Structure 1
Amino acid sequence: MNVVMILLLMSLLTRMASGLVMPVSNGLDQLVKAASSTCDILPLEVLFSWASTPELELVEYSRAGRRSYQLGRAHARLRRRLPPSLVLYIPGWWNTPTDESAETLVKALLHRTPLILVLDTRATFCRGYVGSATRVSSVSKKIYKFIKNINSEGYPIASIHLIGFSLGAHVAGMTGRLVQSRLNEKIGKITALDPARPCFTQLPQYRLSRGDASFVQVIHTSAGVLGLEQPVGHADVYVNGVSSPQPECKERAVSLDCDHAQSWKIFATSITNDRSLLGRKCESWNELSDGRCSGNETAVGYGCNTSTRGMFLHKSQEAARKLWTFSPFDIRTWWLG
């Protein structure tokens, strides 16, 4: 591809990122389709490798309050205060360190550990979607440097748990890959909350995979729409199957963002209640698609055993209520009450 064509495509990307090609009023579903279609024609490999990221901040949450540091200097500020197991949350598109997702996860996690780190991604992900997606690689490089710095001071890489939502899930994956290739060690755990689908169906080197940590768990709540459909972790949990919308979101005029958000909501609940997120193992994709998995039921989510492998179907209480409603023509429902 010649330089002129690349510059023209970069111009199109900039216009889309600023909202000049498609107005938001057309609806979120149209924007998702537009982003996916645009990614199919753009030179993604060039854009991912060219995109740069400004200096980012890392926000420390503890029971004593909140502090912010420049990511490049955070290792020095956190020296000798890191807990035995370090959790770093990477938000997604247009999420912030103080929005509902971050506050919900942090509040739950503080019941388990005295210190949580949240990456402030506003400088990279609070912009047009395609422009945000192409910065996943550059953000991961900055987190890698932070991990390299704390490891050089003696912190074990195996004690690191990265949690990523949407675009943040791919950042977590690429960070883990950098750690493995450059430090010859694996991050202990990655929890991917509905990894973003638009722009990530191609070029697997820029998206999450099961090899990115010793244990990779994926929570799918918008499979095939905003989130990836295919299993990409050691344990892939599909909430209410592979169809959308989620039962909790059916009354919404626009359910896509609600479906996507269910991933961090149910994971946060599992942090304080190990039995809130149970999954039945699926022996095949057909079982999962039919919503009738025949394997054993196991605890997934925060308390998931790191030896767990396979695809799992979790049916929420809301889905169960909708499934088992009284029908005078169905004898199975006569004794339900």
Structure 2
Amino acid sequence: MVGFIDSSLYPQSQAVANSYVKRGYNVFVTETLALLSHIYPKSVRLARVIGKKVGEFLVKLTEQGLSADNLELVGLSLGAHIMAYASKHLYAVTGKKPSRITGLDPAGPCFRSLPAKYKLDSSDAVRVDVVHTNIDGFGMAEPLGHVDFYVNGGEFQPGDITFIPCLIICSHLKSVIYWWQALEHPTKFIGVKCDSVQDARLARCYNNTETNYLGPKTNFSTPGIFYLSTTNVFPYFRGKAGLVPENEIYTSFIRKINDEDNFVV
């Protein structure tokens, strides 16, 4: 499910879809650009309508033989909440939940103060995982899944040009790129468990030993909050090197920004 002012035809949507196809999935990518190109508050109001329509489509698929046990939903930003609405409708009609929902930096504006029934929540699927990349901007700091990854602290991401971080939109959209590469490299994006979101924000988690993979290999029997470190060079994964504190200047800069809770605009 694409997000606000997003299209199924955009390169990032096609890249993620192709990665799923290579893994043997049948893939549907929703096209909602015409509906989600209004001013943001109006698009938020339309999200519930779109989610119900997607849910109705999923009900029809189950009537044609699709098992909810084989159904996985992925949504970026506003699309993450739309997938939650779709799942809620599916459950209301069939009593079945999707096997998995993955939220890619679920939208924060207009959602942060809402109760669980109006946004993505861990109850919306058998397994819910979330990638946080811009928690105080377009994303959301609150853990929403069974497993929540806070990439590089979850607030700002390192830019591809050394020492220059992604700004708000860039960091928000990096969630898609990380997920795409996690599909391509299922055991290379490794997070370390944290005791709190604040610890994840400040990368104060390296005293813990529990780890988890971002992507198809995520272990949902090890739920919780995870700090995930990346490089600033495509394809971004650090592998096991990400399980020890980094000394790179750019990650120190990112951490300083997160610690001061400043926006760089």
- TM, length-normalised to structure 2: 0.82
Tell me the residue number matched to 2:181: 269
Q: Verify the 8 A CA contact 1:218 1:233 in the aligned structure 2.
A: yes
Q: Verify the 8 A CA contact 2:191 2:227 in the aligned structure 1.
A: yes
Measured on the aligned residues, the alpha-carbon RMSD in Å equals 2.2
Which residues of 2 match residues 90-239 of structure 1 at below 5 A? 90-204=1-115, 205-239=117-151
Q: Does residue 324 of the first structure (1) align with residue 236 of the second (2)?
A: no
Q: 2:170 aligns with which of 258, 264, 274?
A: 258
Q: Verify the 8 A CA contact 1:267 1:302 in the aligned structure 2.
A: no
Tell me the residue number matched to 1:69: none
Q: More deviation in 216-225 or 301-310?
A: 301-310
Tell me the residue number matched to 1:71: none
Structure 1 residue 123, shift from structure 2 partner: 2.3
Query: 2:182 & 2:149 partners in 1: Cα distance?
Result: 13
Q: Verify the 8 A CA contact 2:131 2:151 in the aligned structure 1.
A: yes
Query: 1:325 & 1:140 partners in 2: Cα distance?
Result: 42
**SS in structure 2 at match of 1:163:** strand
Query: 2:98 & 2:86 partners in 1: Cα distance?
Result: 9
Structure 1 residue 112, shift from structure 2 partner: 0.3
Query: 1:243 & 1:115 partners in 2: Cα distance?
Result: 33
Query: 2:20 & 2:220 partners in 1: Cα distance?
Result: 18
Task: Percent identity, please.
Answer: 27
Q: Verify the 8 A CA contact 1:217 1:236 in the aligned structure 2.
A: yes
Larger helix proportion of the pair? 1
Tell me the residue number matched to 1:292: 204
Q: Verify the 8 A CA contact 1:169 1:196 in the aligned structure 2.
A: yes
Structure 1 residue 153, shift from structure 2 partner: 1.9
- Which stretches in structure 1 are left out of the alignment for 5+ residues? 1-89, 327-337
Once the two structures are superposed, residues 190-215 of structure 1 have per-residue CA deviations (whole angstroms, 9 ceiling, x without a partner) of: 00000001111132222100000000
Tell me the residue number matched to 1:9: none
Q: Verify the 8 A CA contact 1:111 1:272 in the aligned structure 2.
A: no
**SS in structure 1 at match of 2:62:** helix
Structure 1 residue 103, shift from structure 2 partner: 1.6
User: Which structure's CA Rg is the greater one?
Assistant: 1
Q: Verify the 8 A CA contact 1:271 1:303 in the aligned structure 2.
A: no
Once the two structures are superposed, residues 86-132 of structure 1 have per-residue CA deviations (whole angstroms, 9 ceiling, x without a partner) of: xxxx0001111110221221222221025311000112112211111
Runs of 4+ with >4 A deviation: 319-323
Q: Verify the 8 A CA contact 2:59 2:93 in the aligned structure 1.
A: no
**SS in structure 2 at match of 1:263:** helix
Q: 2:194 aligns with which of 275, 282, 300?
A: 282
Higher relative contact order (CA 8 A, sep 6+): 2
Structure 1 residue 309, shift from structure 2 partner: 0.6
Structure 1 residue 306, shift from structure 2 partner: 3.3
Amino acid of the structure 2 residue aligned with 1:308 = T
Tell me the residue number matched to 2:226: 312
Q: Verify the 8 A CA contact 2:5 2:36 in the aligned structure 1.
A: yes
Q: Verify the 8 A CA contact 2:68 2:99 in the aligned structure 1.
A: yes
Query: 1:300 & 1:325 partners in 2: Cα distance?
Result: 22
Query: 2:108 & 2:197 partners in 1: Cα distance?
Result: 19
Structure 1 residue 325, shift from structure 2 partner: 4.3
**SS in structure 2 at match of 1:306:** coil
Larger strand proportion of the pair? 1
Tell me the residue number matched to 1:44: none
Q: Verify the 8 A CA contact 2:107 2:138 in the aligned structure 1.
A: yes
Amino acid of the structure 2 residue aligned with 1:223 = I
Q: Verify the 8 A CA contact 2:141 2:197 in the aligned structure 1.
A: no
